[in-house]
Structure 1
Amino acid sequence: MRRVVVTGMGIVCPLGIGKEEVTMNMKRSVVAVERISSFDASNLPVKIAAEVRHFDPEKYMDKKLARRTDRFVHFALAAFKEALEQSRIDLSVFSEKTAVLVSSGMGGFITLDVENNKFLAGGASKVSPFLIPMLLINMASGIISIEYGLKGINFAPVSACASSGHSIALGAMLIKHGYADVAIVGGAEATIAPLPLAGFASMRALSMRNDEPQKASRPFDVQRDGFVMGEGGAILILESEEIALERKANIIAEIKGFGMNDDAYHMSAPDPDGVGAEKAMRLALEDAKISPRDVQYVSCHATSTPAGDVSEAKAIERVFGSNVFVNSAKALMGHLLGAAAAAETVIGILEMQENFLHAMPNLDEKDPDVKINVVGKEPLSLNIKNFVKNSFGFGGHNVSIVIGRYEG
């Protein structure tokens, strides 16, 4: 069975465009949640979000392609370009053995919102001929392959907020078993638009702290009241160990194992005891052939919802006891939905490289039902050898991935 390593990473998220800016803002404990600026949200119950600001898609693609693709595809292409620059791989050599698995939970929802308004106001003739391809969730994977001539396995795993977690796990699986030599994996999401916000607000999933946006996202805090919508994209380039060594690549990290299952409990609520989450973590550790004692850190899914945070905390406690520290990147940048797992994996690897864990600025009082070691209001210095990334999605989908330092 082949080992799977990471040789490139790219990220666009509310904390910044690119790894350098994101790392700087993590260390500064920046909370990138503000009142919505991209449209008038005054008639919505939720008026806050974590937006990617100052992003120009034409820096990463030509004007025509930018006009004919949705914002989530723009994020994917920008993140991929950064990952490719770091990896320095000549993809033309591996074209037919490069898998592309770039997820989104909801796809081109901004396009849907805009074009539906055109239809309602002016009829069918006003609808863009690019509406359908701009909507499709698989289009980020497709466009990357078209732009770079990649002819290998290509699809977009979709499992709500676990989507890009599945992309990473499945990309690693394809390399392990020899179906691909290289895998471009990750996710992108752009759903900060009136209809998605109205829908999530209607189901009482979003924080309503409109007057205190920077205090709204508060995973594990006793006063949490829902998640904050975020947006962005993140891409990782995975390779088989032998190919990375042969081309003398700089290996950033290793994907050591993964576990995937389902709660089979409820369409949107987690199993309150976290049984599925626990099993996913145990499967990941078993696949990685390490014990819970070998893990120093868990990058939590923790979205700042009342039920989800406690469920995950219970599962982590049963697997790791008090032997790990945990945090959630959503405390700083909100919830990137289908892109969350990929963005948080990139952030976790950056933290592993820098030997620190970012702070949880809004953890004023930890929920008494959360017994695990949550990083507090200040960053924590920690030597990380291995960490676990958890991702969960509506429908009961669970993904846990073990990522570690590469040791040849």
Structure 2
Amino acid sequence: MNRPAIAVTGLGMITPAGHTTDTTWEGVCRGDSFARTVPELHGCAVDFACTVTGIDLDGAVGGRSAFRMGRYVKFAVLAAREAVADAGLDPARWDGARVAVVVGTSSGGSAGLTEQAVALERRGPEATSPSGILLTIPSMPAAEIAIQMKATGPSLAPCTACSSGVTALAVARDMLALGQCDIAIAGATESIVFPVAMTGFARSGAAARRDADGPEGGDPARLCRPFAADRAGLVMGEGAAIMVLERAADARARGAAPRALLAGTGATTDAHHPTSPHPSGAVAQAAVDAALRDAGWRAEDVEHVNAHGTSTPLNDATEAALIGRAYPHRPPVTAPKGVLGHCMGAAGALEAGLTVLTLQHGLIPPIANLDTPDPGFAIDCVTKTPREVPVRRAVSHSFGFGGQNAVIALEAPQTARQAP
């Protein structure tokens, strides 16, 4: 299929590092983790996470609609507003029937469902919210964005666990290529920092624990260390990233300067285990190969890899071996989860967004806490400080629970928007 070029014309983010794309980028480039003790998790086996703080979400969303939105929905709405404004678009002036919304999530409204269940059990039906059911529906981020943006085209909520964000971008790209829409608002959102979810991750053995750094208890900001010899598990994060995608020809016609081009995507499924990646990494590598074929690139064309890098022993070992095989020329690697935590369903969209910013700024953020790289990994990890290097072609990996792998290839456009 001869696909039209797809441009990223807008980008919005809300993360533990910042409430906008620019502040998130600044925080990620500093390379310090945003993990902190979370009072609401007191008594949990894992009582820390990277959370979005310093913002009145209801006030930022505004209006009476905020009361019906879960936290993850508010993240998505705020990121979408920024992305649409960044693209130079005005929903009051577009043809809403030609605008699609594709926003993924992994766990949807699980936090809202739990809150309502607790209220029902402790205080009875009158204590539950009249909008309680809306807090549980994973398509509500897409629906609320569509309502606010008067977007009457298709709206979808892809879920492929931790790779949901890249899946959403891939679906949106296909819709544009097939002519099903002219503008796609796409990305992902997540907020599951609440006791039930955190206890589940602790029980699964995937989460870092304070005692990973000795019986005295570790500093939460030091515990997520992707590709380190002493890595000991993931740290939870939350947030959202939304992109505006358009056919590049349409963007040029309206005078928009793209941030990047979405050159290719690839997806596979390990069919191995609900939580562990296949140790060979062969099926995940097939997703990389598919993305490169889709983009029309050779492996040596890739100048940067934004790794999934969860800081778990098996995932990082599997991915490091994959990177060594797939990109034998050793392009520089970063892994933002050391700074932002693992934002689950939103992680792929956030990391794709950061890859777009690397293309724009010629700057690769460092991996947080990587003081002692695993000597068994033959990859070029960026550490301590950002690496200044021109990057024209880059890939971002997302490997989800259930072995759901998604990879996105992003390219700097010939006439790119100038970085501020």
State if a TM-score over 0.5 links the two structures.
yes
Matching of residues 196-235 of structure 1 within 5 Å:
196-209=197-210, 211-235=218-242
Q: Are 1:18 and 2:20 matched, yes or no?
A: yes
Matching of residues 347-358 of structure 1 within 5 Å:
347-358=354-365
Query: In the alignment, is the contact (CA less than 8 A) between 1:186 and 1:342 conserved in 2?
Result: yes
Query: In the alignment, is the contact (CA less than 8 A) between 1:113 and 1:194 conserved in 2?
Result: no
What is the letter of the counterpart of residue 289 of structure 2?
R
In 1, the alpha carbon distance for the partners of 2:368 and 2:336 equals 11
Q: CA deviation at 1:183?
A: 0.8
In 2, the alpha carbon distance for the partners of 1:48 and 1:63 equals 32
In 2, the alpha carbon distance for the partners of 1:136 and 1:225 equals 33
Name 2:180's counterpart in structure 1.
179
Q: CA deviation at 1:66?
A: 1.2
In 1, the alpha carbon distance for the partners of 2:368 and 2:338 equals 7
Match of 1:348, SS?
Answer: helix
Q: CA deviation at 1:61?
A: 2.5
Name 1:162's counterpart in structure 2.
163
Cα deviations across residues 58-99 of structure 1 (Å, max 9, x unaligned)? 344234211111000000011111111110123442311211
TM-score, structure 1 as length reference: 0.97
Q: Are 1:248 and 2:250 matched, yes or no?
A: no
Name 2:213's counterpart in structure 1.
none
Q: Are 1:102 and 2:109 matched, yes or no?
A: no
Matching of residues 8-407 of structure 1 within 5 Å:
8-37=10-39, 39=40, 41-91=41-91, 92-209=93-210, 211-407=218-414
In 2, the alpha carbon distance for the partners of 1:195 and 1:114 equals 10
Give unmatched runs, 5+ long, in structure 2: 211-216, 416-420
Q: CA deviation at 1:324?
A: 0.8
Name 2:214's counterpart in structure 1.
none
Match of 2:314, SS?
Answer: helix
Moved over 3 A (4+): none
Number of residues of Structure 1 aligned to a counterpart in Structure 2 = 406
Q: CA deviation at 1:368?
A: 2.8
Match of 1:16, SS?
Answer: coil
Identity of aligned residues (%): 32
Query: In the alignment, is the contact (CA less than 8 A) between 2:32 and 2:221 conserved in 1?
Result: no
What is the letter of the counterpart of residue 83 of structure 1?
A
Match of 2:85, SS?
Answer: helix
Query: In the alignment, is the contact (CA less than 8 A) between 1:77 and 1:144 conserved in 2?
Result: yes
Moved more, 92-101 or 161-170: 92-101
Moved more, 3-12 or 339-348: 339-348
Q: CA deviation at 1:211?
A: 2.9
Query: In the alignment, is the contact (CA less than 8 A) between 2:8 and 2:260 conserved in 1?
Result: yes
Let me know the Cα RMSD of the aligned residues: 1.3
Match of 2:61, SS?
Answer: coil
Q: CA deviation at 1:57?
A: 2.0
